Structure 1
Amino acid sequence: MDWLHPAVITCFLLTEKMLRPVQHRTLLQRAAPAIKKETPSRARLVGGSSVIGSFSLVGSTSQLLTCSALPNSAVSHTSEAGKTQLQSKWKAPTSGKLNNIEFRATFVRNYTTFWVGVKSAQITYNGTATGAGSSNSTSSSISSAGCGSSKTCVSQPSDCDPSTNSNCYFMSATPLSSGSEFTFEISGRAAGYISIGFSDDKSMGNDDIYICGKDKNGVIQLQHAFSTGTTTPTTITLGNVTVLSTSENNGVISCSFTSRNTISTTRSSTPSNSYYIFIANGATNNGLIAMHTTTPLISSAKVDITKTQTLGTASGLPSIIKAHGCLMLIAWMTTGSMGMLIARFLKRAAPGQRFCGKDFWFVAHVSLMFLSVVATIIAFILIFSYEKDWSGGAHPVLGCLVMILSFAQPIGAMFRCSPQEERRFIFNWAHAINALAIKGLAVAAIFTGLLLVDSSDSQWMPKVMGGFVAWEAVLFLCQDFYHKYSQKDMEDVDGVGTGLLLLLLFFVGNLAFLVALLVGIGKA
């Protein structure tokens, strides 16, 4: 399904100076399959009902019509043959007060499929297209002026101003005199779209959404959508919405619009003015929105948009997601890493040490790996009970692989043969290779997870994780070098010495990195 209407009205300025009258070439285009019919295209003042200006023909496939007793005030096709575009020229009137102008047209594919009142990007009298969503468009007029006095604002960082801070994620709602009409503003840095959602809770699903993003041609357009579960929102008709401006400037996408639509989180629910407000952003692919790359910003409490206020901060991660992340960090940064290190080195550093009739290294290894598997299972259950769906992306794929291999590791160990068996080496190699695969996948899953939850400009949490990986690699190499060196002099291996000191050093450094990331997730 296309994200936007399958027909677009594009305006091209023909004059280079602010002359009167101003001329534009209009292009009715992009139909797949081809549009069979097209009712007259007209120019109106934004918010008005009277047609203005006059058209002239470009080519022989169109004809001029008289509308509202004004000759040449509308243009249409000359045949029912399928067509992919229809061009004409439009000239502004030479008198009268002109405000923003838009072109409207109705496209008919067949008797059951048609689009009524498709609007072009708005143009001003000096010929500037406000809907031209390119990197060369003028900067957005959206700002924090009036927050708390005339409009409700939600922003991240707290109290940021989108007119001066390009890293400000911002939305505002200004109630108009009618009480049922609001002017909304959206602004934020994004690869393809910035969106706001109105929800009864802090979970995605049954949300009323407005998306400000790039269409197939890279033009910024406004779209209305409704989400069901955590799947891609379903586009719905724009309804009683007047687009005031759209822009993209140096990667910052902005839209402002007036809406008379009733905000409803379920199609049949009683309307309310209090909602949790979501701000999300992500990429678009050929006009289709992709999953947001970071956790959406969510207002800390329900917001009544009829009462002006300023929310200084927007909260992000729900507690259950934080718990999932913390458990996975503990499992594969600390208990899992320590368990692997002990199995590899402690049995050589402290041979013959017994606990409960078993080698001490074996008891420590089994205990730590058991904790890792249990923590992974709990984290796995938590996140799926919260999402209740497949969210997509690399992170859940990596997480599922970690869960499967982690569950298989102790099962395989239960059926291992005795150390004296001739084929014991098969188990040893399989156990070691599976452990290495789990470790690599777990590290990748943690990196992708941190990228999802870290909304800071510096992205410091993945960098801390990178430091941990480097620290772990250095300590593993130190342990290897030490034991290879000590094997030359067997008296040097006394069960205490340098090997245990390196193990203790690894644990202390590991704990420091872990605490830093746990604090980061807690504040995310």
Structure 2
Amino acid sequence: MMHVYTLLFVIWTSPVALGYSNGLVSGSCGTMVPNHSAQPQTATSPYTVTVDRSSYQAGDTITVTLQGQSTTFMGFLLQAQEVGGSQPVGTFSVTDGQAQLLSCSGTTSSAVSHTSASSKSSVKVLWRAPASESYKDIVFRTTFVQSKRVFWVQVNSATVSYTGSQPATPVPTVSYSFISSASCGYSKLCVSQPSNCDPATSGSCNFISVLASSTNSTFNVEISGQASGYVAVGFSDDQYMGNDDIYICVDSGSGSVQVQHAYSTGTVTPNILPQGNISITKTSMTGGIISCSFTSQNTISTQPRSAASALSYYLLFASGQASGGSIQFHTTTFSSSQKVDLTSPQLLLSGSSEPPIVKAHGALMLISWMTTGSIGMLIARYLKAATKGKRCCNKDFWFLAHVTLMSLSVIATSIAFILIFSYARDWSGGAHPVLGCIVMILALIQPMAAAFRCTPGHKWRFVFNWAHALNALVIKILAVAAIFTGLGLIDTTDSRWLQKVMGGFFAWEVLSFLLYELNVRLCAKDKTEPGSDSKSTEVIFLIIFVLGNVTFLVALLCGIGQS
């Protein structure tokens, strides 16, 4: 009989126990204390709750960030409450898969909790003040769970003051688009760049919203963005162009906007399909902003001639120029940061990512002309004396090192050139591809000219030496310019830190070459053969140069990988 009672107790309590890890903790809404059979921690919490504004008005949206200062957390429960009160205020929407909405005190979406017990260092959610209600100052209260027996209850944010309702006579604002982000997370799925921007109030907001029925038979789409020819949305199985179902809002050439249905087979112009069952709600093209809203009953397909069975896709945005209703290569792109269910209203973060082939191109060019090429040039110019008398395969050691490093640079440049043109197949990108082509041509001239150079004692040898050195200098300058412009194409951060690091990298090389040149001049002034001390100095300079070079290189390679 005791075994029966034990079994019944396990069956009765198991749903509660299992529910904790997936965040279904509505039973803890009142006290915000998890049912973990342990007491809350009394020491200072290692976690913080921060907000992006110190006051609010009716209908305002506030970004709330939960963050661990020195350790991660497994679970959490977040509510907005009036100062001195305990009832939840307002509603939340989530922006990533680490958080889910809960109903507390009978109010839908009035709390947020975790979706799994995985370790988290930071979670961001959005809170919206109700449109009409009696308002007071509020505070965001959070319970953080580090482990089953270690948790902190009601960790508070700074107080957010209520500053009154919206003015009775609002300040006139410019309306950029008839499309708005007001219902994002509630009645439609949205992704934009910049994140959380509103196309109705921002002229620089590129925006997509979608909401599909559960049967995948009907879905509503809104697209808005700053463009001179078209804006488009793609439904894709990945974050890259190719095998995507696309809808394009394009300038027809007569001042009106057409909605086109298309399918992409790669990085070339998409194939225009019959429009199918599309009902256009509204379109506009004013002030450089193209907007359109429509309903489609076409089946989404991300494979040739086959309909996808799932409702989860990455959302891709693209915009660019058009001519006579035909789109040209895109100038602006981004994608959703994750694959999303089109039937689930939510607010997504944009997470555009460069294709691996583009990253490989950038990495190879960076290694070629900022590391192997630089070291090869430095050795040929300044390390001959330090390696004097040292030979291998009947060749001077400095010569073998120079030829090896420069050959690697030319080979890597050729591979990078082939990769990017096999991907892009055009000259888009401004000055960057032009500079890259010139670097490629001059880089190939170097070894070909060296293969036909005259002997060291020939009277015209100095012509080759000067031409070889001058061509190398031109290649270096153009390669640095190409790298700067290339990093500008992939670095979308506000600080533009990749280009700043590249600036430091170039300054480091210039400083190193100047120090070597100064050392050479001092030795020449003494009119003596470089001694062991001078050779040691040159070797030490080389070691320091390589260490600094590799440090900058690794930083930039990491940045390219994350771009």
Classify the TM-score, shorter chain: 0.5 to 0.7
Give, as a single letter, the amino acid of the residue that structure 2 aligns with 1:377.
Answer: S
* Aligned counterpart, 1:280: 318
CA-CA distance at 1:500 after TM superposition: 4.6
Report deviation, 1:336. Answer: 0.7
Q: Which amino acid aligns with 1:210?
A: Y
Q: Shift of the alpha carbon at 1:266?
A: 6.1
Map 1:430-445 to 2 at 5 A.
430-445=467-482
Q: Which amino acid aligns with 2:334?
A: L
Could you tell me how far apart the structure 2 residues matched to 1:186 and 1:252 are?
Answer: 10
Q: Write the mapping of 1:487-506 to structure 2, written as runs, cut at 5 A.
A: 487-491=524-528, 493-494=530-531, 495-496=534-535, 499-506=538-545
The CA deviation string for residues 33-83 of structure 1, in whole angstroms up to 9 with x for no partner, is xxxxxxxxxxxxxxxxxxxxxxxxxxxxxxxxxxxxxxxxxxxxxxxxxxx
The separation in 2 between residues aligned to 1:520 and 1:165, in whole angstroms, is 29
Query: Is the counterpart of residue 330 in structure 1 residue 364 in structure 2?
Result: no
Name the amino acid aligned to 1:362. Answer: F
**CA-CA distance at 1:261 after TM superposition:** 3.5
Give CA deviations for 1:70-121 in whole Å, capped at 9, x if unaligned.
xxxxxxxxxxxxxxxxxxxxxxxxxxxxxxxxxxxxxxxxxxxxxxxxxxxx
2:399 pairs with 362, 365, 373, which one? 362
Q: Which residue of 1 aligns with 2:551?
A: 512
- Give the equivalent residue in structure 1 for 2:55: none
* Counterpart Cα distance in 1 of 2:545 and 2:407: 20
Alignment match, 1:451: 488
SS at match of 1:326: helix
Task: Say which SS state the counterpart of residue 495 (structure 2) adopts.
Answer: coil
Q: Give yes or no for the alignment of 1:268 onto 2:305.
A: yes
Amino acid corresponding to residue 281 of structure 2 in structure 1: V
Distance 1:136 1:221 in 2: 25
* TM-score calculated relative to the size of structure 2: 0.58
Which structure has more relative contact order (CA 8 Å, sep 6+)? It is: 1
Deviation at 1:248, TM superposition (A): 5.4
CA contact (8 A) 1:157 1:169 kept: yes
Question: How many Å apart are 1:198 and its aligned residue?
Answer: 2.3
Distance 2:252 2:528 in 1: 73
Is the alpha carbon distance of 1:455 and 1:489 closer, same or farther for their aligned partners in structure 2, counting shifts above 3 Å? same
- Structure 2 counterpart of 1:243: 281
Whole-Å Cα distance in 2 between the matches of residues 192 and 451 of structure 1? 23
Question: Which residue of the partner structure matches residue 388 of structure 2?
Answer: 352
Deviation at 1:335, TM superposition (A): 0.9
Q: Which amino acid aligns with 2:407?
A: F
Structure 2 counterpart of 1:521, one-letter code: I
Write the distance in 2 (CA, Å) between the matches of 1:453 and 1:209: 24
- For the 8 Å contact 2:300–2:307, the answer to whether it is kept is no
The letter of the residue matching 1:420 is G
SS of the residue 2:472 aligns to = helix
- Report if aligned partners of 1:196, 1:278 keep a CA contact under 8 Å in 2: yes
The match for 2:498 is: 461
Which residue in 2 is equivalent to 1:82?
none
1:171 partner amino acid: I
Q: How does 1:303-452 map to 2 (within 5 A)?
A: 303-348=340-385, 350=386, 352-356=388-392, 358-384=395-421, 387=423, 389-390=425-426, 392-393=428-429, 394-452=431-489
Whole-Å Cα distance in 2 between the matches of residues 522 and 266 of structure 1?
A: 28
Shift of 1:230: 2.4
1:291 aligns with 2:336: no
Q: Does 1:258 align with 2:295?
A: yes
CA contact (8 A) 2:233 2:316 kept: yes
Q: 1:136 to 1:293 in 2, by over 3 A?
A: same
Superposed displacement of residue 444, structure 1? 3.1
Long gaps (5+) in structure 2: 1-172
Distance 1:138 1:308 in 2: 24
**Amino acid corresponding to residue 488 of structure 1 in structure 2:** K
**Contact 2:175/2:201 (8 A) holds in 1:** no
Partner of 1:34: none
Aligned identity (percent) is: 55
- Structure 1 residue 208 displacement after superposition: 3.1
Cα deviation code 1:360-390 (max 9, x no counterpart): 32232122212222322343444455x2744
Contact 2:376 2:403 in 1 (8 A): yes
2:331 counterpart SS class: coil
Q: Which amino acid aligns with 1:472?
A: E
- Contact 1:231–1:391 (Cα < 8 Å) also in 2: no
Do the aligned partners of 1:193 and 1:211 also contact (CA within 8 Å) in 2?
A: yes
Which residue in 1 is equivalent to 2:219?
A: 182
CA distance in 1, matches of 2:325, 2:212: 31
Does the 8 A contact of 2:209 with 2:221 survive in 1? yes
Instruction: Compute the displacement of 1:305 (Å).
Output: 1.9
Contact 2:216 2:299 in 1 (8 A): no
Local SS of the residue matching 1:417: coil
Q: Structure 1 residues 415 and 490 mapped into 2: Cα distance closer, same or farther (>3 Å)?
A: same
Counterpart amino acid of residue 244 in structure 1:
K
Change (3 A) 1:153 1:141: closer
Decide whether the 8 Å contact of 2:301 with 2:307 is kept in 1.
Answer: yes
Q: Is the 8 A contact 1:141 1:163 kept in 2?
A: yes
State the shift of 1:216 in Å: 5.0
**Against the structure 1 CA distance between its residues 230 and 141, is the aligned structure 2 distance closer, same or farther, given a 3 Å change threshold?**
closer
Aligned residue type for 1:352: K
Describe the shift of the 1:476–1:141 C-alpha distance in structure 2 as closer, same or farther (beyond 3 A).
same
Q: 1:490 to 1:162 in 2, by over 3 A?
A: farther
Q: TM-score, normalised by structure 1?
A: 0.62
1:237-263: per-residue Cα shift (whole Å, max 9, x none)?
6552313354657x7654433333333
Secondary structure of 1:516's counterpart equals helix
Following the alignment from structure 1 to structure 2, what is the Cα–Cα distance between the partners of residues 279 and 139? 17
